[in-house]
Amino acid sequence: MDTLLPFALLCLTSFFTLTNPLSIMPIFLTMTDGFSDMERKAIVKRATIVSFITLVMFAVSGQLLFKFFGISTNGFRVVGGVIFFAIGWDMLQARITKVKLKEDEIKTYAKDISITPLAIPMICGPGSITNAIVLMEEADTFWMQIVLIASIAIVYLLTFIILRAATRINKIIGETGNNVMMRLMGLILMVIAIEFFVSGIKPILIDILRQAPVH
């Protein structure tokens, strides 16, 4: 019991920081511009459920999957860094494309964005996946593993609530406030992207140099 509380706090704070639903709001609102409240609710619900299932799967079997496919978490960090930088750059310019769709196209588009890019990699990104795998390795007991999975569920429930309230928050801050938030979050996202990319590419380059023949 003495170790459960600190472990639970570590899980909650790390997953919430890595998910950062407040930074997802501007992108979510822009991608769903013109959608009804019910359509946005369905997108958020699907995205958070997919994110939860994906993260739990990686937490439980991440190391086995990585060994099977011969990939590393550093590869996930590099790819995540590139994706985050591209999204952050568009956010910094406040020019995320607003998609105009016909009624018969909305349902297909909603299903697509709820999985990619909203669920993966925005809500459940390489940082969260890496964090889940590492923390699961540190969970020595059955109850610590339960705490880890419960923490993921709590964080994604909070993410669902925050994104569901995104429209009301946007009405309060207005278009100008949304643009300011988008630019600020874009800058932060680009910094995070660089950190991800560097932390992923550094050990890969070190391994390459070690394996290079010495003349």
Task: Say which residue, 34 or 106, is predicted with more confidence.
Answer: 34
The mean pLDDT value for 136-154 works out to 91
CA–CA gap between residue 53 and residue 71 (Å, rounded): 21
Q: Is the pLDDT of residue 85 over 90?
A: no
Contacts of 24 (CB under 8 A, 6+ apart): 118, 122, 123, 159, 163
Position 98 scores a pLDDT of 47
Q: Is the pLDDT of residue 214 over 70?
A: no
Q: What is the mean pLDDT of the chain?
A: 79
Cβ 140 vs Cβ 153: under 8 Å = no
Q: Is the pLDDT of residue 105 over 60?
A: no
Tally of CB atoms within 10 A around 146 = 12
Tally of CB atoms within 10 A around 120 = 20
Q: Which of 11-20, 98-107, 122-131, 151-160 has the highest mean pLDDT?
A: 151-160
For 35-75, the pLDDT digits (tens) are: 888 888 899 999 999 999 999 998 988 777 777 777 776 77
Q: Is the pLDDT of residue 79 over 60?
A: yes
Least confident interval from 10-14, 58-62, 98-102: 98-102
Amino acid residing at 101? L
Task: Say which residue, 210 or 147, is predicted with more confidence.
Answer: 147
Structure tokens at 84: 């985050």
- What are the φ and ψ backbone dihedral angles of 140, each rounded to 5 degrees? -80, -25
CA–CA gap between residue 190 and residue 93 (Å, rounded): 12
CA–CA gap between residue 26 and residue 91 (Å, rounded): 8
Contacts of 97 (CB under 8 A, 6+ apart): 30, 90
Q: Is the pLDDT of residue 100 over 50?
A: no
